[in-house]
């Protein structure tokens, strides 16, 4: 608590031993041993607790939420370091609403057909599966979750088959799919359901490439939860790692946890592509667009306007913001999958 700069009126995220709470800071103890929050809300259950007091001894972590813009948490100017992004309060509220408002489907009824009709109109889809940690060797895949930018659909594939419509969403390359650890997802789909997964953006691979570019060691087990917590700076207790997705009937906590595992895939892809991979391209585009406007002299700008070729020649070759070759995936490995 003493390491965080707190100001009355801030909206802060407080992580306790078993809870993550959001509230407005209304009082700080003179010795900074406690704080009082108003409009306290549990991030997971969304229950409101009004005004609450929390003591330093019970607080594990504090984050100041930003309502208008996302700011880097790391002020270091070192090169080749990807900074985490702090979730804005508006975005966090939208995400919590999506998680709560997920659509759960366990049979091919009207709700199923409405959901499929909606998903087929989308271009970008987040894909997550539960109980497939061992690929084809997994005992019984449990859930298939598909997320659009503003909606989440959870299909109980333990009770219903993967239908032809769902297969199309997984295989047709007109969709831009995003997942985490496509190696086990593809293996499970191919050998458990006879489905060949179509082209996907794997956020785990992006994380590995970024980590290698930073010179960091990469472990053999990289979870979606660790990626989300690293890049979007969520608290440790946001995900419940003790949920058993194989149990039936599914309770609300289990469904909500499945929604959490898919809701961040599209935002992570957007972060990786537009703020990391294409950062050199955006820099080059900005430099080109500024090449004429930077000349404030009206007459001289006419000369610059006619010399557009020079501005084009100044454009540097296109490179990604990360070195994908560092992944070192051989052609033999790729074709054998």
Task: Express each pLDDT in 103-138 by its tens digit.
Answer: 999 999 999 999 999 999 999 999 999 999 999 999
* 217 and 161 in a common domain: yes
Preceding peptide of 3 cis, ω within 30° = no
Q: Does 68 have pLDDT greater than 60?
A: no
CA–CA separation, 119 vs 169, rounded Å? 8
Highest mean pLDDT among 36-40, 75-79, 247-251, 324-328: 247-251
Any residues with CB less than 8 A from the CB of 88 and at least 6 apart, and which?
65, 66, 67, 68, 69, 70
| Domain co-membership, 60 together with 168 | no
Most confident range, picked from 50-59, 135-144, 226-235, 309-318 = 135-144
What's the distance, CA 60 to chain centroid? 23
In the chain, the N- to C-terminal Cα span, in Å, equals 49
pLDDT digits (tens, 9 = 90+) for 305-337: 676 666 666 666 666 656 555 555 544 444 444
Q: Both tokens of residue 159? A: 């009770």
**Which tens digit of pLDDT belongs to each residue from 210-228?**
888 778 877 766 788 888 8
Residues 121 and 262 in one domain: yes
Helix locations, 144-233, DSSP H: 164-171, 182-192, 203-213, 224-232
Assess whether 137 and 227 both reside in one domain: yes
Choice among 30-34, 160-164, 183-187 with the minimum mean pLDDT: 30-34
Alpha-carbon gap, residue 99 to 108, rounded angstroms: 22
What gap in Å lies between CA 305 and CA 311, rounded to an integer?
10
Q: Is residue 329 part of a domain?
A: no
Q: Which residue's entry shows tokens 């940690």?
A: 133
Residue 51 CB contacts under 8 Å (≥ 6 apart), including other chains = 26, 36, 37, 38, 40
The answer to whether residue 2 sits within a structural domain is: no
pLDDT (mean) for 204-209: 88
User: Does residue 162 lie within any of the structural domains?
Assistant: yes
pLDDT of residue 50: 87
Which tokens is 240 given?
């419940």
Statement to judge: residues 283 and 272 lie in one domain: no
Residue 250 has pLDDT above 80, yes or no: yes
Mean pLDDT for 74-84 is: 38
Between the alpha carbon of residue 124 and those of residues 74, 176, 199, 206, 277, the distances in Å are 30, 5, 12, 17, 18
Q: Do 31 and 140 fall within a single domain?
A: no
Q: Which residues make beta-bridge pairs with 143?
A: 130, 156
With beta carbons less than 8 A apart as the criterion, state whether 191 and 136 touch. Answer: yes
The residue count for the chain: 337
121 shares its domain with 217: yes
257 with 293, same domain? no
203 pLDDT exceeds 70? yes
159 and 115 in a common domain = yes
Q: So what's the pLDDT on residue 7?
A: 82
Region of 328 (left: φ > 0; alpha: ψ -120 to 50; beta: rest) is left
Q: Print the domain residue range for 219.
A: 89-276
146 falls within a domain: yes
What distance in Å separates the CA atoms of residue 310 and residue 289, rounded to the nearest whole number?
13
Domain identity same for 285 and 199:
no
Q: Is the same domain home to 135 and 109? A: yes
Residues paired with 327 in a beta bridge:
none
pLDDT for 164 equals 96
Does residue 272 or residue 77 have the better pLDDT?
Answer: 272
Pair 96, 224 in one domain: yes
Per-residue model confidence as pLDDT tens digits over 161-182: 899 999 999 999 999 999 999 9
Tell me the C-alpha distance between 263 and 259, whole Å: 6
- Give the residue from 105, 100, 97 showing the smallest Cα distance to 144: 105
| Number of domains the chain is built from | 3
Q: What is the pLDDT of residue 246?
A: 94
């Amino acid at each position: 608590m003493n390491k965080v700069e707190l100001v009355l009126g801030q909206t802060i995220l407080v992580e306790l031993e078993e809870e993550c709470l959001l509230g407005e800071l209304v009082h700080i103890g003179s010795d900074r041993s406690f704080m009082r929050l108003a409009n306290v809300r549990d991030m997971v259950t969304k229950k409101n607790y009004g005004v609450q007091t929390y003591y330093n001894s019970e607080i594990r972590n504090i984050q100041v939420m930003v309502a208008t813009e996302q700011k880097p948490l790391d002020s270091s100017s070192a090169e080749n370091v990807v900074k985490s992004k702090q979730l804005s309060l508006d975005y966090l509220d939208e995400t919590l609403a999506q998680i709560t408002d997920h659509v759960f489907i366990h049979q091919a009824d009207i709700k199923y057909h409405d959901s499929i009709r909606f998903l087929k109109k989308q271009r970008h889809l987040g894909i997550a599966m539960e109980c497939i940690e061992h690929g084809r060797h997994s005992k019984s895949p449990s859930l298939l979750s598909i997320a659009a930018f503003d909606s989440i659909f959870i299909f109980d594939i333990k009770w219903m088959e993967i239908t032809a419509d769902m297969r199309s969403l997984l295989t047709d390359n007109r969709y831009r799919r995003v997942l985490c650890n496509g190696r086990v997802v593809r293996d499970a789909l191919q050998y458990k359901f006879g489905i060949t997964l179509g082209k996907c953006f794997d956020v785990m691979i992006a994380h590995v490439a970024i980590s290698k570019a930073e010179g960091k060691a990469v472990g053999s087990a990289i979870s979606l939860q660790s990626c989300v917590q690293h890049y979007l700076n969520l608290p440790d207790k946001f995900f419940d790692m003790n949920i058993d997705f194989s149990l039936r009937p599914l309770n609300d906590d289990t469904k909500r946890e499945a929604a959490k595992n898919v809701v961040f895939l599209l935002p992570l892809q957007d972060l990786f592509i537009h703020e990391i991979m294409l950062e050199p391209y955006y820099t080059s585009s900005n430099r080109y667009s500024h090449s004429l406007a930077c000349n404030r002299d009206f007459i001289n700008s006419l000369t610059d306007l006619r010399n557009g070729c020079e501005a084009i020649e100044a454009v540097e070759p296109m490179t990604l913001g990360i070195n994908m070759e560092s992944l070192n995936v051989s052609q033999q490995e790729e074709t054998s999958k």
